[in-house]
Amino acid sequence: MAPPSHCHATNGGGAPQHNGANAVDAPVTRSARLLDAEEFRRHGHLVIDFIADYYAGLGEYPVHPSVSPGFLRHHLPLEPPPRREPDVFDAALQDVRSVILPGLTHWQSPRHFAHFPASSSTVGALGEALAAGINVVPFTWASSPAATELEMVVVDWLGKALHLPESLLFAGGGGGTILGTTCEAILSALVAARDRKLAVIGEDRIGDLVVYCSDQTHFAFCKAARIAGIRREHCREIPTYRDDTFALSPTELQAAMQRDVDAGLVPLFLCATIGTTQTTAVDPVGELCAVAAPHGAWVHVDAAYAGSALVCPEFRGVIAGVEAADSFSMNAHKWLLANNDCCVMWVRTPSALVAALGTEQEYILKDAAAKGVVDYKDWGMTLTRRFRALKVWLVLRCYGVEGLREHVRSHVRMAAAFEGMVRADARFEVVTPRRFALVCFRLRSPKNYRFAGGEKSANELNRRLLEEVNAASSGPYMSSGKVGGVYMLRCAVGSTLTEERHVREAWKVVQGRATSILRKMEIIM
């Protein structure tokens, strides 16, 4: 890709030269009207057309780009533009098309199976645009009353759609908020738990606090624990096993907590997961809550990916016992069409969040007469907040709960079909049972190859298979995981644009690359 011809400087040349006198003597031009309605209308049409064309042509892009680190610097100027250029917006969009898009991993591609989805919808995208255009800052009720109250309404709407217990909703004495990511949700809950515990045992004992998770829990949890002041060696990652489908064992948790108590330490927090990243394992929430309760440990349920599936009644069983949890979070941007970013967190005791994260200072926009209102600045880590509730409200209103159910079920059906294809080929095996729309599978090693190197050789074989699959110019793009010493391929169905034909085509590529690899092995051996 050549550098855009309209760029004012490139890495091959120098920056524009001028001296101080010329800069001072240059004629002063009228500033652009930065919120000009007609200019916005014209540019807005260009952007909508651009995105629509992008959606229509996504299937033609390689899902993952073949670029090297630093590639973009060779296509952009060394210095920012000194002044506005004629028709600059049109030219900038052309740069996006010719320079930026070819260097992206296209998460909305129908052939993107590597990660849990970052689902898009036209309503979600337009909701983002609407919120950006209005651009309010709803950190207190008074700063934008409708934004705060809409957020309160939609978190209860969504909680009901997900079949959450009433105790986590505003309607039942709990409540929810919309944050950016699961990382924020876990950290907010952890800080609330920490302060609640220290209020009882004394702040000088922060070094005695211990937190718990499984070895399948997302690394965001241990990162949050460090930020919250928990010692690194006090983050207990409890081993899981294939025989238990990599779910956290209540017996193992109980033993770990008792060991810490016997050592004079204080169990503080458990992060249970519904749908782990590697295999979508489901921790037994109710049983784990029963173990944590005698120690007064806070239980947070991380359902970042699989929480969306709860819109379907057939998945309600995976959160059995969640009414005993202290907090629950899920990412509506992963599978519920809300576009990045959108993590919703519910808590059973909002006062614990406010006690830990609230601020006492008066603000210019704080309405002293507004008593008993929710100020969302006290429910999370940030003060400046985005009006995310608007897009969630639009998604729920425009698609309805039934529409969201069909969206999730369609991906589950496609994943089940892919799983069936894997099982029908004796050369492959499904590593862990499929629960939602992720299939974990691998190529079995030929007996003589397995004998030559055991599990290590089998892992190398599948690592090679993944490389071959992802090297296919037409896709698909998949990822890997390693659990219980087993290296496996991950096929996560979830792109809004994915259809059954894309799943079938993906399997054909996997089969073809496997056949080629096995034939080469026969020649070598």
Output the DSSP codes for 347-360.
ES-HHHHHHHH---
Domain-located, residue 514: yes
CA distances from 464 to 53, 268, 374, 510 (A): 35, 43, 53, 11
Do both 45 and 146 map to the same domain? no
Q: Which of 107, 15, 24, 116 is nearest to 61 (CA)?
A: 107
Q: Which CATH number goes with the domain that contains 378?
A: 3.40.640.10
Do both 495 and 359 map to the same domain? no
Last residue of a domain, one of 386, 413, 446: 386
Do both 428 and 354 map to the same domain? no
- Cα–chain center distance at 236: 24
Domain-located, residue 274: yes
Q: How far apart are the C-alpha atoms of 81 and 336, rounded to whole Å?
A: 39
Q: Where are the beta strands (DSSP E) in 220-306?
A: 235-238, 266-273, 298-302
Structural domain that includes position 56: 32-61+65-104
Do both 45 and 174 map to the same domain? no
Report which residue type is found at 399: Y
Last residue of a domain, one of 83, 104, 125: 104
Sign of CA dihedral 505, 509, 514, 520: positive
Domain-located, residue 426: yes
Q: How far apart are the C-alpha atoms of 248 and 306, rounded to whole Å?
A: 16
Report which residue type is found at 170: F
Which residues neighbour 424 within 8 Å (Cβ) at sequence distance 6 or greater?
none
Q: Which CATH number goes with the domain that contains 444?
A: 3.90.1150.10
Q: Which CATH number goes with the domain that contains 82?
A: 1.20.1340.10
Number of domains in the chain: 3
Do both 200 and 255 map to the same domain? yes
Domain-located, residue 111: no
Q: How far apart are the C-alpha atoms of 479 and 5, rounded to whole Å?
A: 37
Do both 244 and 341 map to the same domain? yes
Sign of CA dihedral 367, 372, 374, 377: positive
Do both 231 and 328 map to the same domain? yes
Domain-located, residue 302: yes
* pTM metric for this prediction: 0.90
Q: Are 188 and 179 in contact (CB under 8 A)?
A: yes
Domain-located, residue 515: yes
Last residue of a domain, one of 359, 386, 413: 386
Which residues neighbour 267 within 8 Å (Cβ) at sequence distance 6 or greater?
210, 212, 257, 260, 261, 292, 295, 296, 297
Do both 166 and 241 map to the same domain? yes
Do both 186 and 280 map to the same domain? yes
Do both 348 and 471 map to the same domain? no
Do both 148 and 75 map to the same domain? no
Do both 418 and 489 map to the same domain? yes
Which residues neighbour 285 within 8 Å (Cβ) at sequence distance 6 or greater?
272, 274, 299, 301, 319, 320, 321, 322, 324, 325
Q: How many helices (H) and strands (E) does the chain have?
A: 14, 11
Q: How far apart are the C-alpha atoms of 236 and 221, rounded to whole Å?
A: 11
Domain-located, residue 130: no
Domain-located, residue 268: yes
Q: Which of 107, 103, 104 is nearest to 71 (CA)?
A: 103
pLDDT in tens, the chain (525 residues): 333 334 433 333 333 344 444 444 444 444 457 899 999 999 999 999 999 999 999 988 999 998 999 999 988 999 999 998 889 999 999 999 999 999 999 999 999 999 999 999 999 999 999 999 999 999 999 999 999 999 999 999 999 999 999 999 999 999 999 999 999 999 999 999 999 999 999 999 999 999 999 999 999 999 999 999 999 999 999 999 999 999 999 999 999 999 999 999 999 999 999 999 999 999 999 999 999 999 999 999 999 999 999 999 999 999 999 999 999 999 999 999 999 999 999 999 999 999 999 987 665 556 655 677 899 999 999 999 999 999 999 999 999 999 999 999 999 999 999 999 999 999 999 999 999 999 999 999 876 555 455 788 899 999 999 999 999 877 899 999 999 999 999 999 999 999 999 999 999 999 999 999 999 887 654
